[in-house]
């Protein structure tokens, strides 16, 4: 009985961190290798000129990456970084960076 409650609690915690995302944060983590040189391995940036991404909202991250890709938000480095990202990559990257603070 006690084990069952513990298992359920763990499951609820896992779902709590992941349920909001249809995307795959694990795939996003793999894709983030190309981002961490500036934005940091835990989404806390390496320098004052780069924004932190950890714990940022999924919707915001997704919207910014699409804006960079479509060049409606102009920032040459990020326009270049986002140019080759597919919608799925953007969803996964957003899910990964959004998950960092909430789940660690």
Q: Shortest distance, CB of residue 16 to ligand HEC, whole angstroms?
A: 23
Encoding tokens for residue 32?
Answer: 């983030």
Least gap, CB of 7 to ligand HEC (angstroms): 34
- How far apart are the C-alpha atoms of 4 and 35, rounded to whole Å? 40
Contact (CB, 8 A) for 38 and 52:
no
Q: How many CA atoms lie within 13 A of 91 on its CB side?
A: 9
Which residue of 23, 54, 61, 95 would you call a contact of ligand HEC, by CB under 6 A? Answer: 61
The one among 18, 20, 42, 50 contacting ligand HEC by CB under 6 A: 50
**Residue 6 and residue 8: Cα distance in Å, rounded?**
5
Smaller CB distance to ligand HEC: residue 51 or 70? 51
> Measured from the CB of residue 63, what is the shortest distance to ligand HEC in angstroms?
9
Taking CB under 6 A as the binding criterion, the range among 1-9, 13-21, 37-45 that sits at the site for ligand HEC is 37-45
Of the chain, the end-to-end C-alpha distance in Å amounts to: 28
Is there binding between residue 41 and ligand HEC (CB under 6 A)? no
């Amino acid at each position: 009985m006690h084990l069952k409650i513990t298992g359920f609690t763990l499951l609820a915690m896992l779902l709590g961190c992941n349920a909001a995302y249809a995307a795959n944060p694990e795939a996003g983590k793999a894709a983030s290798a190309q981002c961490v040189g500036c934005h940091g391995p835990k989404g806390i940036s390496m320098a004052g000129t780069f924004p932190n991404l950890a714990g940022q909202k999924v919707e915001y991250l997704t919207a910014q990456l699409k804006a960079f890709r479509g060049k409606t938000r102009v920032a040459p480095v990020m326009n270049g970084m986002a140019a080759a990202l597919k919608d799925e990559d953007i969803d996964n990257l957003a899910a990964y960076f959004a998950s960092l603070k909430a789940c660690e």
